[in-house]
Amino acid sequence: MSPGPPPRAAAPARHLELFVEMLAAERGAAANTIEAYVRDLTDAESFLGRRRTSLAQARRADLTAYLAGLEAAGLSARTAARRLSALRQYYRFLVSDGLRADDPSAAIESPQTGKALPKLLSEAEIDTLLACARAKQGPRGARLLALVELLYATGMRVSELVGLPVAAVARDPQLLVVLGKGNKERMIPISDPARAALRGYLAQRAFFLAGDARSLWLFPGRFRQHLTRHRLAQMLKDLAGEAGIAPSRISPHVLRHAFASHLLNRGADLRSLQRMLGHADIATTQIYTHILEERLRQLVHHHPLAAGDGSLTTFGGGKSVSLPHGSENRQNDG
């Protein structure tokens, strides 16, 4: 009787642990980034297990079947592309560390996602949102106004904002030191309206300490932690509804997009914007130029002198550059 095939080795979960350790130690990946990698890779592992294989042993056909399954389940091409990216990073790590001889993801083409432009609020809508926040009374109103002002005036990521230590604003600074992705620090100017809102909140911050007077966080939350990203996002959606703006159109990241787009629209240069946003690659910042290009195309299309095909013979004239939100004290481009 001939022997059967050798038993399949158990999937080495240690490989994923080593990958996570590399992300944290070598790349300085943020906790949210690591969580996203683990979530995507765990989803792939679950699918592969049903095919009687594993992440460590998967072949190209297995990964192709996984991506086809995502499409069949109605997931977007952008989600599939992100999960394929996570798989590629994982297999490159295995190969570079000698844990696997080949990369089964190397020859797989990324799903075509197109170029998605960020959601954007107009300057008038930002004004309405801030006016609604200013109308709120008490400590919660002061906190909400400070959060919205800081998001719009600095373009911080939500994790950067909620993770600010109270020491960062101890002396009413004109520049805020932010710890961003990869534990890289950057300095961002704070507008006068944002500083005023921050002072108003600090005068009432004790309301949120809940017995933890030694909290290190600028925006304390429950259980001695800082305010969560999810709670802030919900607060913004509630505020949007009160301001007559569809809640689906707003999030902390939408305010970051508004900061960048409004500054660029008023003459800020891409390099300055890149530094303030904390983008490692200026190509990431250039997405905002596409927003402006699309807005110009729409304006030209509706211009009374536009030709039947939507083109315009001439489009020019001088312009004066001012700052967003109707205040000369707002964020500058330096």
Q: What percent of the chain has pLDDT over 70?
A: 81
Residue (of 274, 265, 281) closest to 319 by Cα position:
265
Q: Per-residue confidence at 212, pLDDT binned at 50, 70, 90? A: low
> Which of 25-29, 174-178, 287-291 has the highest average model confidence (pLDDT)?
174-178
The dihedrals phi and psi of 177, each to the nearest 5 degrees, come to -90, 120
Which of 6-20, 132-146, 155-169, 212-226 shows the lowest mean pLDDT across its residues? 6-20
Amino acid identity at 272: S
Question: Which residue out of 143, 279, 325, 330 is catalytically annotated?
Answer: 279
Question: Which residue out of 88, 92, 134, 181 is catalytically annotated?
Answer: 181
Inform me whether the pLDDT recorded for 1 exceeds 70: no
pLDDT value at position 151? 94
Q: What's the pLDDT tens digit per position in 79-93?
A: 999 999 999 999 999
Which of 1-5, 11-15, 34-38, 180-184 shows the lowest mean pLDDT across its residues? 1-5
Task: Tell me whether residue 301 is one of the annotated catalytic residues.
Answer: no
Question: Which residue out of 15, 143, 157, 226 is catalytically annotated?
Answer: 157
Q: Per-residue confidence at 309, pLDDT binned at 50, 70, 90? A: very low
3-state secondary structure of 178: strand
Please give, one letter per residue, the 3-state secondary structure of the chain.
Answer: CCCCCCCCCCCCHHHHHHHHHHHHHCCCCCHHHHHHHHHHHHHHHHHHHHCCCCCCCCCHHHHHHHHHHHHHCCCCHHHHHHHHHHHHHHHHHHHHCCCCCCCCCCCCCCCCCCCCCCCCCCHHHHHHHHHHHHCCCHHHHHHHHHHHHHHHHHCCCHHHHHCCEHHHHCCCCCEEEEECHHHCEEEEECCHHHHHHHHHHHCCHHHHCCCCCCCCECCECCCCCECCHHHHHHHHHHHHHHCCCCHHHCCHHHHHHHHHHHHHHCCCCHHHHHHHHCCCCHHHHCHHHHHHHHHHHHHHHHCCCCCCCCCCCCCCCCCCCCCHHHCCCCCCCC
Task: Tell me whether residue 256 is one of the annotated catalytic residues.
Answer: yes
Task: Tell me whether residue 253 is one of the annotated catalytic residues.
Answer: yes
Q: Which two tokens stand for residue 72?
A: 């069949």
pLDDT value at position 84? 93
Beta strands in the chain (DSSP E): 175-179, 185-189
Residue 126 CB: number of other CB atoms within 10 A? 21
Inform me whether the pLDDT recorded for 33 exceeds 80: yes
**Mean pLDDT over all residues of the chain?**
81
Mean per-residue pLDDT, 156-169: 92
Q: Same CATH topology for 13-96 and 123-277?
A: no
Q: Per-residue confidence at 114, pLDDT binned at 50, 70, 90? A: low
Q: Where in the chain are the domains?
A: 13-96, 123-277
Inform me whether the pLDDT recorded for 299 exceeds 70: no
Inform me whether the pLDDT recorded for 261 exceeds 50: yes
Mean per-residue pLDDT, 274-299: 70
Residue (of 183, 152, 179, 145) closest to 164 by Cα position:
179
Task: Tell me whether residue 157 is one of the annotated catalytic residues.
Answer: yes
pLDDT value at position 46? 93
pLDDT value at position 60? 94
Distance CA 256, CA 37 (A): 23
pLDDT value at position 24? 85
CATH of 13-96, one of 1.10.10, 1.10.150, 1.10.1740, 2.30.110: 1.10.150
The dihedrals phi and psi of 185, each to the nearest 5 degrees, come to -90, 145
Is the model more confident about 122 or about 4? Answer: 122
Looking at the structure, give the CATH architecture of the domain made up of residues 123-277.
Orthogonal Bundle (1.10)
Q: Which helix (H) or strand (E) holds 202?
A: helix 192-202
Which of 41-50, 102-111, 180-189 shows the lowest mean pLDDT across its residues? 180-189
Question: Which residue out of 66, 83, 288, 330 is catalytically annotated?
Answer: 288
Find out whether 168 and 116 touch, Cβ atoms under 8 Å: no
Q: Which two tokens stand for residue 132?
A: 């609604």
Residue (of 194, 229, 191, 214) closest to 329 by Cα position:
191
Task: Tell me whether residue 288 is one of the annotated catalytic residues.
Answer: yes
Inform me whether the pLDDT recorded for 301 exceeds 80: no
Mean per-residue pLDDT, 164-179: 89
Question: Which residue out of 256, 262, 266, 325 is catalytically annotated?
Answer: 256
pTM to 2 decimal places: 0.60
